[in-house]
Structures are given as C-alpha cells and as structure tokens.
Amino acid sequence: MELSPLLDTATLEPESIDPSWPVCPGYLDTVLSVFKRHHQPFVLVSTLSMRWQGARNLPQREVDVLVRSSHLEVIVDDLIASGEWKVSENWSDSEYTMINHTAVRDVWLKSCWSDCLFEYLRFWPEELYKLSVTCNKVEVPDVFSRGEVLLEEEYYRDPCERFGAQRLRSFFKPDRPLLPRLQMRAKIMEREIPIFIPTIEEHLNALLDQAREEQETELWNGNAPQSQVRNLIRYLYLDWTPTRNWLLSSKIRERNLELMTEKLDNYRRKPVLSVDKAAMCTLSQMPWDLPIRPEFQKFAGVMSLSGS
C-alpha cells in the first residue's frame, strides 16, 4: 500500500513553491532512473526518512536507501558506470558514519559531484534493515525537507493542540517553504519517479527488530536504532498515556511489545518551563498538563476518557 497524504505540490499555495524547482539540476536523477530501470522503489530510511515522520533528526552526509539484496550488485554497477558515483573505499572516511559490524554488508557510494548536499549513498539490504521494499509506504516530494514534518497525522494525538510534531499545514505559508531551493531531483513538479519512506508503523517496528538483534548478538549495524526509537518517542510524544496505549494496542507487533514497553517506561521527558507573570514564578509542567485554550475545551472530556 502506498499513501500520499496531502503531499502533492498541487496542494501547496503558489507562493510557497520555489520557481526554481522544475529546472534545478537534481544530482539524484541518475540514481532514481537506475532504480526505475530495475523496477525497484526508491525508499528512504533512517535519519532523512524520520524528518518526514516528525522527528527532529539532524541530517548527516549520507542518503540511506533500502534495497533488495538480489538487486544490490546490479544497481551499484550501473551507478558506478554512470561516472557520478564511486565505491567508498573506507566508509569511515566520513566523520559522521557509524560502521556496520554484522555479517550482512551494506554498500557506501561516494558522489563524484563537488558541491552536493549529501556526499554519500548508503544502501541497506532488506535483511540488514529488517524491512522490505514492499512495506507500506508514504510518498514524499524529495529527499530533504527544510524542517521536520509529520505526514501521518494520526500520530498527532493531542486534540487540544498543546503539543505535537509539525504537520504539513504548518508549511502552507509563503514564508515557510517545505523544500530547500536546491532539490535532489530536477523534475519535482512531474514526480515521474517517486520517492518513498516507510510508514511510521513499519519503520518503528523495523528499528525495534534491529535493536533486539543488537542486544542479542552485540553486533551493531551502524544505524543506532536505540537512538532512532528514542527520537520517535520524543518528537511524536509516544510517552503520553493515551498515545502510548493506542500505539501498543494497534501499531507495535507482538514480537516487539516487550521491548517497546521497556523503551516507553525508561524514557524521561523534560518538563516544559513557563513563566506565571501573575504569581511571579516559573512553572514546570509536562506538555499534556499545559492549560487548554478556550476553543479546545470541548475536547477535554475526550482526553479524560482516553486516560490523560
């Protein structure tokens, strides 16, 4: 199943669309063409995909892509033949890179472009990332967004809108463009070759699978799944009791329930500090304890029933 929630450029206000989008040189165009030639969906994973899932992950120097092991070699060969990419002889030459110590090898390619935003491609075999390219996906307009944005709005759980990740509607303003000026692909308006991310449910369960394997084998895969899960808890407020109950009952697969419950139990959120001018003091509160604005009071009873 492939979803595209609200994410066609036709839904953006004209003034929010950078006029250079259709003509910007896209240094990933060749990569996307190779994937299309081999009938492989282009599925982002790890840090960049999580920015489209509402997590404030800092982009690094690599684009992480999920690949079928059966097609990995031919895709790499075609990209090297293009002259635009070369195999990185030592992937640790990037100071941000974490090394994979498992028996399932990933592949690093280094760009031959001199001024690209992301210097490396990292190809993750399905077996290593614990995720299939046929998983449930969401289409995104490009590899990178200016700010983190939550596309799957069912994960925005507070009906009173006191806390939660930025949603797409936050970028429907002239002064808040969703995408940077230089796109990773040239034909963004046509979107001939789509770019996908896994759904949050698929991605979170894959990260939990990776974390369990690391605990069992003590071999790290270079993705830091423990930190990635913690970031999703933090930025999607998965530790809020109503969200936690919903998540564990409907999104986490049975094999991961114990580990996810442990992660939620161990997560410690920092309180929000605010100034009470009348009492001349500083208040320390959890986000879900913040006052409800008058226009949202009608939702307070719903939250009481859900266990907030």
pLDDT band at 188, cuts 50/70/90? very low
Q: Residue type at 69?
A: S
Residue 97 has pLDDT above 50, yes or no: no
What are the backbone angles phi and psi of residue 103, rounded to the nearest 5°?
Answer: -75, -20
Count of C-beta atoms within a 10 Å radius of residue 115: 7
pLDDT band at 2, cuts 50/70/90? very low
Q: What is the pLDDT of residues 251-283, one digit of tens each?
A: 999 999 999 999 999 999 998 877 666 666 777
Of the two residues 177 and 45, the one the predictor is more confident about is 45
Sign, CA dihedral 216-220-223-225, equals positive
pLDDT band at 298, cuts 50/70/90? low
Q: What b/e readout covers 90-113, taking b as 16+ CB neighbours within 10 angstroms?
A: ebeebeebeebebeeebbbbbbee
Quote the percentage of the chain above a pLDDT of 90: 51
Q: Give residue for tokens 């002239």.
A: 174
Helix (H, G, I), strand (E, B) or coil at 299: helix
Tell me the two tokens of residue 206: 């894959």
Let me know: does 230 contact 281? Beta carbons within 8 Å.
no
For residue 195, the cross-strand partners are: 42, 140
Let me know: does 176 contact 167? Beta carbons within 8 Å.
no
Q: Report, as an integer, the average pLDDT of 203-230.
A: 95
CA distance 153 to 294: 23
pLDDT band at 305, cuts 50/70/90? very low
Let me know: does 149 contact 50? Beta carbons within 8 Å.
no
Helix (H, G, I), strand (E, B) or coil at 208: helix
Q: Give residue for tokens 């950078």.
A: 18
Q: What is the pLDDT of residues 122-164, one digit of tens each?
A: 999 999 999 999 999 999 988 888 889 999 999 999 988 899 9
Q: Give residue for tokens 């500083």.
A: 282
pTM of structure? 0.84
What are the backbone angles phi and psi of residue 85, rounded to the nearest 5°?
Answer: -140, 150
Let me know: does 259 contact 226? Beta carbons within 8 Å.
no
CA distance 75 to 138: 23
Let me know: does 49 contact 64? Beta carbons within 8 Å.
yes
At residue 172, the pLDDT reads 75
